[in-house]
Amino acid sequence: MTHPVLSIDQLVVERGGRRIVDGLSLTLEAGEIYALLGGNGAGKSTTLFAILGFLERSGGTLTVGGQDPAGQLDAVRAQIAYLPENVALYDHLTARENVDYLLKVADCPRSRADVEAAFGSVGLAANAWDMRAGRFSKGMRQKTAIALAMLRDTPLLLLDEPTSGLDPAAAADFHKLLETLAARGVAVLMVTHDLLGAADTADRIGLIAGGRIASEWFAQPGEPRFDLNALHSGFARVR
Protein backbone atom coordinates (compact mmCIF):
# COMPACT_ATOMS: atom_id res chain seq x y z
CA MET A 1 0.00 0.00 0.00
CA THR A 2 1.40 3.38 -0.98
CA HIS A 3 0.94 6.32 1.33
CA PRO A 4 0.45 9.93 0.26
CA VAL A 5 3.61 11.98 0.77
CA LEU A 6 1.79 14.09 3.33
CA SER A 7 -1.45 13.28 5.04
CA ILE A 8 -3.00 15.58 7.62
CA ASP A 9 -6.41 14.98 9.12
CA GLN A 10 -8.13 17.23 11.67
CA LEU A 11 -4.81 18.55 12.94
CA VAL A 12 -4.92 20.55 16.18
CA VAL A 13 -1.89 22.45 17.46
CA GLU A 14 -1.89 24.67 20.53
CA ARG A 15 0.69 27.27 21.52
CA GLY A 16 0.59 29.06 24.84
CA GLY A 17 -2.85 27.61 25.58
CA ARG A 18 -4.26 28.94 22.27
CA ARG A 19 -5.44 26.78 19.39
CA ILE A 20 -3.46 27.98 16.40
CA VAL A 21 -4.33 25.10 14.11
CA ASP A 22 -7.80 23.75 14.64
CA GLY A 23 -8.96 20.85 12.51
CA LEU A 24 -6.75 21.34 9.47
CA SER A 25 -6.86 18.54 6.88
CA LEU A 26 -4.64 18.23 3.86
CA THR A 27 -3.25 15.49 1.61
CA LEU A 28 -0.31 15.93 -0.73
CA GLU A 29 0.76 13.50 -3.42
CA ALA A 30 4.14 13.14 -5.12
CA GLY A 31 4.88 15.87 -7.66
CA GLU A 32 2.16 18.15 -6.33
CA ILE A 33 2.73 21.80 -5.39
CA TYR A 34 0.40 23.08 -2.70
CA ALA A 35 0.35 26.74 -1.69
CA LEU A 36 -1.01 27.51 1.73
CA LEU A 37 -2.18 31.09 1.97
CA GLY A 38 -3.45 32.99 4.94
CA GLY A 39 -3.09 36.10 7.04
CA ASN A 40 -0.48 36.66 9.72
CA GLY A 41 -0.96 34.29 12.64
CA ALA A 42 -3.37 32.11 10.71
CA GLY A 43 -1.33 28.99 11.54
CA LYS A 44 0.60 28.49 8.32
CA SER A 45 4.10 28.24 9.85
CA THR A 46 2.68 26.37 12.84
CA THR A 47 1.42 23.70 10.46
CA LEU A 48 4.92 23.39 8.97
CA PHE A 49 6.44 23.13 12.45
CA ALA A 50 3.98 20.38 13.36
CA ILE A 51 4.93 18.45 10.21
CA LEU A 52 8.62 18.85 11.10
CA GLY A 53 7.98 17.73 14.66
CA PHE A 54 9.10 21.06 16.12
CA LEU A 55 5.68 21.33 17.75
CA GLU A 56 3.58 18.57 19.23
CA ARG A 57 0.03 18.27 18.02
CA SER A 58 -2.81 18.00 20.49
CA GLY A 59 -5.25 16.36 18.11
CA GLY A 60 -5.73 14.78 14.72
CA THR A 61 -3.37 12.65 12.67
CA LEU A 62 -0.33 13.56 10.64
CA THR A 63 1.93 11.31 8.58
CA VAL A 64 4.76 11.84 6.14
CA GLY A 65 5.14 8.88 3.83
CA GLY A 66 2.97 6.95 6.26
CA GLN A 67 5.17 7.78 9.26
CA ASP A 68 4.11 9.83 12.23
CA PRO A 69 6.51 12.52 13.54
CA ALA A 70 5.19 11.88 17.05
CA GLY A 71 6.82 8.45 17.10
CA GLN A 72 9.22 8.36 14.16
CA LEU A 73 10.69 11.83 14.15
CA ASP A 74 14.06 10.90 12.61
CA ALA A 75 12.39 8.90 9.83
CA VAL A 76 9.98 11.76 9.12
CA ARG A 77 12.70 14.42 9.05
CA ALA A 78 14.74 12.23 6.70
CA GLN A 79 11.91 12.64 4.17
CA ILE A 80 11.64 16.42 4.43
CA ALA A 81 13.67 19.28 3.07
CA TYR A 82 12.75 22.54 4.77
CA LEU A 83 13.44 26.08 3.66
CA PRO A 84 12.61 28.69 6.31
CA GLU A 85 11.72 32.25 5.36
CA ASN A 86 15.27 33.37 6.09
CA VAL A 87 17.47 30.59 4.80
CA ALA A 88 19.88 29.88 7.60
CA LEU A 89 23.24 29.27 5.99
CA TYR A 90 26.48 29.49 7.94
CA ASP A 91 28.11 32.76 6.99
CA HIS A 92 31.63 31.52 7.73
CA LEU A 93 31.21 28.57 5.36
CA THR A 94 31.19 28.65 1.57
CA ALA A 95 28.13 27.50 -0.36
CA ARG A 96 29.85 24.17 -0.98
CA GLU A 97 30.84 23.79 2.69
CA ASN A 98 27.32 24.67 3.84
CA VAL A 99 25.82 22.02 1.61
CA ASP A 100 28.47 19.42 2.52
CA TYR A 101 27.96 20.09 6.22
CA LEU A 102 24.18 19.82 6.23
CA LEU A 103 24.26 16.75 3.98
CA LYS A 104 26.66 15.11 6.42
CA VAL A 105 24.35 16.00 9.32
CA ALA A 106 21.49 14.45 7.38
CA ASP A 107 23.72 11.43 6.75
CA CYS A 108 23.46 11.64 2.96
CA PRO A 109 26.86 12.75 1.71
CA ARG A 110 27.14 13.57 -1.99
CA SER A 111 30.10 13.74 -4.33
CA ARG A 112 31.67 17.02 -5.36
CA ALA A 113 30.32 16.51 -8.89
CA ASP A 114 26.78 15.99 -7.58
CA VAL A 115 26.99 19.18 -5.54
CA GLU A 116 28.28 21.17 -8.51
CA ALA A 117 25.55 19.73 -10.73
CA ALA A 118 22.92 20.79 -8.19
CA PHE A 119 24.42 24.29 -7.99
CA GLY A 120 24.35 24.43 -11.77
CA SER A 121 20.75 23.32 -12.01
CA VAL A 122 19.54 25.95 -9.54
CA GLY A 123 21.50 28.63 -11.39
CA LEU A 124 23.99 29.47 -8.69
CA ALA A 125 26.91 31.10 -10.48
CA ALA A 126 30.11 29.04 -10.37
CA ASN A 127 32.08 31.89 -8.79
CA ALA A 128 29.72 31.72 -5.79
CA TRP A 129 30.29 28.04 -5.06
CA ASP A 130 33.40 28.70 -3.00
CA MET A 131 32.33 32.07 -1.73
CA ARG A 132 31.39 32.43 1.94
CA ALA A 133 27.64 32.61 2.45
CA GLY A 134 28.06 35.78 4.50
CA ARG A 135 28.42 37.63 1.19
CA PHE A 136 25.32 36.07 -0.43
CA SER A 137 22.12 37.89 -1.43
CA LYS A 138 18.82 36.39 -0.36
CA GLY A 139 18.35 34.92 -3.84
CA MET A 140 21.74 33.19 -3.68
CA ARG A 141 20.86 31.79 -0.29
CA GLN A 142 17.58 30.45 -1.66
CA LYS A 143 19.38 28.82 -4.56
CA THR A 144 21.91 27.20 -2.26
CA ALA A 145 19.12 25.91 -0.04
CA ILE A 146 17.19 24.54 -3.04
CA ALA A 147 20.35 22.84 -4.28
CA LEU A 148 20.66 21.29 -0.84
CA ALA A 149 17.05 20.12 -0.97
CA MET A 150 17.64 18.59 -4.40
CA LEU A 151 20.75 16.81 -3.17
CA ARG A 152 18.89 15.41 -0.21
CA ASP A 153 16.42 14.01 -2.69
CA THR A 154 13.56 14.02 -0.19
CA PRO A 155 9.98 13.33 -1.28
CA LEU A 156 8.64 16.40 0.55
CA LEU A 157 9.79 20.02 0.40
CA LEU A 158 8.42 22.51 2.92
CA LEU A 159 8.81 26.20 2.13
CA ASP A 160 8.06 29.08 4.48
CA GLU A 161 7.55 32.40 2.64
CA PRO A 162 10.18 31.47 0.07
CA THR A 163 9.83 34.51 -2.15
CA SER A 164 9.54 37.25 0.45
CA GLY A 165 12.31 39.74 -0.17
CA LEU A 166 13.12 38.41 -3.65
CA ASP A 167 12.89 40.68 -6.66
CA PRO A 168 10.32 39.61 -9.31
CA ALA A 169 12.92 38.04 -11.60
CA ALA A 170 14.45 36.04 -8.75
CA ALA A 171 10.98 34.99 -7.59
CA ALA A 172 10.15 33.80 -11.10
CA ASP A 173 13.40 31.82 -11.24
CA PHE A 174 12.53 30.32 -7.91
CA HIS A 175 9.10 29.21 -9.08
CA LYS A 176 10.70 27.56 -12.11
CA LEU A 177 12.97 25.63 -9.77
CA LEU A 178 9.96 24.41 -7.85
CA GLU A 179 8.36 23.19 -11.02
CA THR A 180 11.57 21.32 -11.86
CA LEU A 181 11.52 19.64 -8.46
CA ALA A 182 7.84 18.78 -8.76
CA ALA A 183 8.52 17.29 -12.16
CA ARG A 184 10.98 14.96 -10.42
CA GLY A 185 8.20 13.81 -8.11
CA VAL A 186 8.89 16.03 -5.12
CA ALA A 187 5.77 17.14 -3.26
CA VAL A 188 5.99 20.82 -2.31
CA LEU A 189 4.06 22.51 0.48
CA MET A 190 4.60 26.24 0.29
CA VAL A 191 3.41 28.72 2.88
CA THR A 192 3.17 32.15 1.32
CA HIS A 193 1.59 35.58 1.15
CA ASP A 194 2.46 35.78 -2.54
CA LEU A 195 -0.90 35.13 -4.14
CA LEU A 196 0.26 35.72 -7.70
CA GLY A 197 3.32 33.54 -7.30
CA ALA A 198 1.20 30.79 -5.84
CA ALA A 199 -1.25 31.07 -8.73
CA ASP A 200 1.66 30.76 -11.19
CA THR A 201 3.18 27.65 -9.64
CA ALA A 202 0.79 25.72 -7.41
CA ASP A 203 -1.45 22.85 -8.38
CA ARG A 204 -3.67 23.62 -5.44
CA ILE A 205 -4.10 26.65 -3.25
CA GLY A 206 -5.55 26.40 0.21
CA LEU A 207 -6.69 29.39 2.21
CA ILE A 208 -6.21 28.94 5.92
CA ALA A 209 -8.54 30.75 8.32
CA GLY A 210 -9.48 29.96 11.91
CA GLY A 211 -6.78 27.31 11.97
CA ARG A 212 -8.23 25.20 9.16
CA ILE A 213 -8.48 25.18 5.36
CA ALA A 214 -11.38 27.52 4.74
CA SER A 215 -11.31 27.40 0.93
CA GLU A 216 -9.38 25.43 -1.64
CA TRP A 217 -8.80 26.03 -5.37
CA PHE A 218 -7.46 23.62 -7.96
CA ALA A 219 -5.40 24.63 -10.97
CA GLN A 220 -7.29 24.44 -14.23
CA PRO A 221 -5.78 23.47 -17.57
CA GLY A 222 -4.86 26.45 -19.75
CA GLU A 223 -4.39 30.08 -18.76
CA PRO A 224 -5.20 31.51 -16.30
CA ARG A 225 -4.76 28.44 -14.12
CA PHE A 226 -6.72 30.00 -11.28
CA ASP A 227 -9.57 32.44 -11.07
CA LEU A 228 -7.59 35.32 -9.65
CA ASN A 229 -10.68 37.29 -8.72
CA ALA A 230 -11.95 34.40 -6.61
CA LEU A 231 -8.55 34.08 -4.98
CA HIS A 232 -8.38 37.81 -4.25
CA SER A 233 -11.81 37.99 -2.74
CA GLY A 234 -11.27 34.82 -0.73
CA PHE A 235 -7.99 36.15 0.60
CA ALA A 236 -9.50 39.56 1.34
CA ARG A 237 -12.28 37.91 3.34
CA VAL A 238 -9.97 36.19 5.79
CA ARG A 239 -7.35 38.91 6.25
Partner 1 sequence: MSQVFTIAGAELRLMLRSRLAIVGVATLLLLSAIAAVTSATQMAAAAKMRAEAQIATDQQFKSQPDRHPHRMVHYGTYALRPVGPLAAFDPGVDAFTGTVVFLEGHRQNSATFGAARESSDLVRFGQLTPAFVLQTLAPLLLVFLGFASVARERERGSLRALAAHGATAWAILSGKALALCAAAALAMAPAFAALGWAAIQQPAEAGIALLTALSYSGYLLIWVLVITAVSALAASAQGALVTLIAIWAVVVVLVPRAAAAWAGVAEPLPSRVDTEFAIAADLRRIGDSHNPNDPHFAEFKAKLLQKYGVGKVEDLPFNYRGVLAQEGERLTSQLFKDYAARAGAIQLAQSDRLTALGLISPALAVRRASMVGAATDLRTHLAFLETAEAYRYNMVQKLNALQATAVSGADDSARSKDPIAERRTRISADFWKEVPDFRFDAPTASRRAAGMIPSLAVLALWIALALALMMIASRRLERNGA
The residues binding partner 1 (CB under 8 A) are 49, 52-55, 74, 77-78, 80-82, 84, 86, 88-90, 92-93, 97, 101-102, 104-107, 152
CB of 93 to partner 1, least distance (A): 7
CB of 22 to partner 1, least distance (A): 20
CB of 84 to partner 1, least distance (A): 6
By beta-carbon proximity to partner 1, the closer residue of 77 and 204 is 77
By beta-carbon proximity to partner 1, the closer residue of 74 and 179 is 74
By beta-carbon proximity to partner 1, the closer residue of 120 and 134 is 134
CB of 45 to partner 1, least distance (A): 11
CB of 172 to partner 1, least distance (A): 25
Distance CA 44, CA 55 (A): 13
CB of 229 to partner 1, least distance (A): 36
By beta-carbon proximity to partner 1, the closer residue of 147 and 209 is 147
By beta-carbon proximity to partner 1, the closer residue of 36 and 87 is 87
By beta-carbon proximity to partner 1, the closer residue of 82 and 235 is 82
Distance CA 163, CA 35 (A): 12
The full 3-state SS of the chain, as one line of letters, equals: CCCCCEEEEEEEEEECCEEEEEEEEEEECCCCEEEEECCCCCCHHHHHHHHHCCCCCCEEEEEECCECCCCCHHHHHCCEEEECCCCCCCCCCEHHHHHHHHHHHCCCCCCHHHHHHHHHHHCCCHHHCCCEHHHCCHHHHHHHHHHHHHHHCCCEEEEECCCCCCCHHHHHHHHHHHHHHHHCCCEEEEEECCHHHHHHHCCEEEEEECCEEEEEEECCCCCCCCCHHHHHHHHHHHC
